[in-house]
């Protein structure tokens, strides 16, 4: 073959390809194994373990209304004051932070790590990389647990919002709630129930320790759960539900206009002033005529109070109860009621309240629920209950928790509550 420019270029190109191809193949192989190794490492992250650890750092045995919490809050206030004085605030999350999750790799992950180090959710490190790795997964889950959010390890909308709250706002929350807790802690008995409205949680306390903690559903912003001190005096199994006039006027009339079969579907009967049942067709639903009647829901699975109602003295006609809508207990913001408090796993609380009556434990309460027992039981020993408004607190492990100011009492600087 005559060697000319064209042949030379062709030969050189062929030779070059021969030399380059193994390198390209090696690079692709290296990249494949890097990605494979990273994927395997991500799959091996113990996400359930990270969630369990986060919960253990938050749900300790100190009651939220206690001098222990007050002392822990003062330590947290000192730390936040020092940080705010030196730095003003922490860096707020950028748009790139939203949606971050395990396995992602971008600069926002490194910035998030530094932020969570400031908050104490992640151990301090001099250098951080851009990987959303096991350490960041654990830190995000702890941050979510401290803010009462669904623990999923992802920077979802609720987590992004919580990250966006400035440091001085959090410091103000700590100061306000330290004063609230001091006021409540001075008037507590050895055994009581505490409902924290912003956290939508219920604590059963005995001997200065939380013996039960329950998720709750509390009042909407426009139908707030009242703040009060009272005593629980009665537990009702499989109760009837008499619909309050406020709900008849605000909700039930609307539901009947949307679906004329609503009352029938939910086994709600209409009674006149003499106790006689009347049909829904006897009422003009285009008016407020319905408020003249009594609406009573039969016991059963669809009953709005579920299998149990817990009564305490109050002028607001509110109470604690079970619910058929169990999925609500898993939500971030559990503010759906008309002022009453729904309690998750209420059979445990009912058994604890009834223990002095004798013959009641969790299995026997559950049997009463499922067996359809219709009975109202007066407590032999009435138990104090406190409905409270605490949006920031700290425990003995130094974990600081925050909740949204749902009723705007923080914004108004309210520390004392009239009935509490």
Tokens encoding 298: 């039969």
Q: Which residues contact 25 (CB under 8 A, 6 or more apart)?
A: none
pTM: 0.85
SS3 358: coil
Distance CA 14, CA 3 (A): 15
**What is the average per-residue pLDDT within 310-326?**
94
Element (H, E) at 108: helix 107-118
Residue 202 near residue 186, CB atoms below 8 Å: no
**What is the average per-residue pLDDT within 249-259?**
93
Residue 12 is predicted with a pLDDT of 34
For 260-314, write each residue's pLDDT tens digit: 999 998 889 999 988 899 999 999 999 999 999 999 999 987 788 999 999 999 9
Tokens encoding 353: 């309240």
**39 band by pLDDT with thresholds 50, 70 and 90:** low
Residue 301 is predicted with a pLDDT of 72
**What is the average per-residue pLDDT within 128-140?**
95
DSSP sequence for 153-180: SS--HHHHHHHTS-HHHHHHHHHHHHHH
Residue 231 is predicted with a pLDDT of 98
Among 233, 201, 202, 175, residue whose Cα is nearest residue 415:
175
Q: Quote the percentage of the chain above a pLDDT of 90.
A: 79
Beta partners for residue 384, in sequence order: 231
């Amino acid at each position: 073959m005559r060697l000319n420019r064209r042949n030379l270029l062709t030969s050189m190109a062929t030779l070059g390809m021969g030399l380059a191809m193994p390198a390209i193949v090696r690079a692709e192989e290296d990249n494949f194994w890097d990605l494979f190794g990273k994927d395997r490492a991500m799959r091996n992250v113990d996400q359930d373990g990270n969630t369990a650890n986060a919960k253990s750092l938050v749900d300790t045995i100190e009651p939220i209304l206690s001098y222990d919490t007050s002392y822990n809050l003062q330590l947290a206030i000192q730390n936040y004051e020092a940080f705010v004085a030196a730095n003003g605030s922490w860096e707020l999350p950028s748009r790139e932070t939203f949606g971050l999750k395990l396995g992602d790799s971008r600069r926002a992950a490194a910035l998030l790590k530094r932020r969570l180090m400031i908050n104490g959710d992640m151990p301090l490190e001099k250098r951080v990389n851009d990987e959303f790795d096991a350490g960041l997964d654990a830190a995000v889950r702890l941050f979510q647990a401290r803010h009462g959010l669904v623990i999923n390890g992802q920077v979802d909308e609720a987590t992004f919002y919580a990250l966006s709250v400035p440091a001085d706002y959090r410091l103000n929350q700590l100061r306000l709630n330290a004063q609230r807790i001091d006021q409540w802690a001075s008037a507590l008995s050895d055994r009581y129930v505490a409902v924290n409205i912003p956290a939508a949680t219920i604590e059963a306390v005995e001997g200065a320790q939380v013996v039960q903690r329950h998720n709750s559903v509390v009042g909407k912003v426009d139908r707030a759960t009242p703040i009060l001190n009272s005593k629980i005096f009665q537990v009702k199994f499989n109760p009837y539900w008499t619909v309050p006039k406020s709900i008849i006027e605000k909700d039930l009339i609307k539901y009947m206009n949307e679906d004329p079969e609503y009352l029938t579907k939910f086994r709600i009967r209409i009674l006149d002033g003499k106790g006689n049942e009347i049909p829904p067709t006897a009422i003009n639903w285009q008016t407020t005529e319905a408020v003249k009647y009594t609406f009573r829901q039969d016991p059963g699975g669809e009953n709005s109070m579920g299998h149990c109602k817990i009564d305490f003295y109050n002028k607001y006609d509110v109470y604690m109860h079970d619910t058929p809508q169990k999925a609500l207990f898993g939500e971030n913001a559990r503010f759906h009621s008309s002022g009453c408090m729904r309690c998750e796993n209420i059979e445990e609380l009912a058994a604890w309240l009834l223990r002095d009556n004798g013959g009641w434990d969790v299995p026997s309460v559950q049997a009463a629920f499922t067996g359809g027992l219709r009975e109202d039981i007066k407590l032999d020993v009435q138990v104090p209950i406190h409905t409270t408004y605490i949006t920031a607190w700290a425990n003995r492990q130094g974990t600081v928790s925050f909740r949204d100011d749902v009723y705007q009492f923080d914004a108004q600087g309210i520390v004392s509550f009239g009935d509490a």
